[in-house]
Amino acid sequence: MTNVASLAGTAALIGDPARAAMLVTLMDGRALTATELAGAAGVTASTASGHLARMLEAGLLALERQGRHHYYRIAAPSVAGLIESLMSVTGELSAARRQCRPVRTGPSDRALRRARLCYDHLAGEVAVGIAAGMIARGQLDLGQDGGALTDEGLNFLASLGIDLDSGAPARSLHSRLCRLCLDWSERRPHLAGEIGRALYGALVRERWVAGPSQGRTVTITPLGRGKLERHFGLALAWSLSCSD
């Protein structure tokens, strides 16, 4: 019973709009100052400070102090996973409630819908398109509980400089497993987990995409636009959300 109480406590913590806004803002994986988070949540600094202290105490956030600045960030991947889980359920529910007519899910910001950071991996139309392209090209095998890379998939990632078997020669099977994350705006799976993180790192390193200068929005470089089109059949001029 005491566990139910702490479970409810954690949920209630996320259940406040101001705190939820802070957590979602931090889902890009960065660490932000208390003032910045106050602005993101639309509350005064004193109110934000109280919220942040509570989330820190509860272990949802971690704190790094540099001089007079206090940088807050998501404390652990499991917390990010929880927020993702909430986004998915919330998305499904709101989509289910108003079923008819093509609902516009996710944020209204066009660039944010296209490509954004989801804690440590890529999300949005582009990420969903990458996953769909890999599936279509036989690089990714989709199961009910996740995905698995095929030989072609391993080779493709290797061509991007991602060597998943490094350091563990005998673990070729599990290195192929990839966690899938139901895309917040697209409602279709994209690559998350270890491989999602590695893929995002490679895309940045190869300059297909550029990480967010502020916010969560990831931008596609001209080079990346061509590469994505050639490798995954992504035509970024039109809206991917119409397909399927």
Partner DNA sequence: GAGATGCTTCGGTCGCGCCCGAAGCATCTC
Partner DNA sequence: GAGATGCTTCGGGCGCGACCGAAGCATCTC
Which of these segments, 63-71, 192-200, 216-224, 232-240, binds a copy of itself (CB under 8 A)? Answer: 192-200
Q: Which residue number, 9 or 226, has a Cβ lying nearer to a copy of itself?
A: 9
Q: Which of DNA, a copy of itself, none does 5 bind, CB closer than 5 to 8 A by kind?
A: a copy of itself
DSSP string, 122-176: EESHHHHHHHHHHHHTTSEEEETTEEEE-HHHHHHHHHTT--TTTT-TT-TTGGG
Q: Which of DNA, a copy of itself, none does 89 bind, CB closer than 5 to 8 A by kind?
A: a copy of itself
49 lines the binding site for a copy of itself (CB under 8 A):
no
Q: Which one of 74, 87, 123, 234 is in contact with a copy of itself (CB under 8 A)?
A: 87
The interface mask with DNA, positions 48-77, x = CB under 7 A, is: xxxxxxx-----------xxxxx-------
Q: Which one of 10, 24, 33, 88 is in contact with DNA (CB under 7 A)?
A: 33
Residue with tokens 């913590």: 13
**CB-based burial label for 141 (10 Å; 0-12, 13-18, 19+):** middle
- Residue 55 token pair: 């989330």
Q: Which of a copy of itself, DNA, none does 48 bind, CB closer than 5 to 8 A by kind?
A: DNA
Q: Which one of 90, 155, 159, 239 is in contact with a copy of itself (CB under 8 A)?
A: 90
136 lines the binding site for DNA (CB under 7 A):
no
Q: Which residue number, 50 or 233, has a Cβ lying nearer to DNA?
A: 50
By the criterion CB under 7 A, which residues form the site for DNA? 12, 16-18, 33-36, 43-54, 66-70
- Footprint of a copy of itself on this chain (CB under 8 A)? 1, 3-17, 19-21, 24, 58-60, 76, 78-79, 81-83, 85-94, 96-97, 106-107, 141-148, 150, 171, 173-179, 182, 184, 192-195
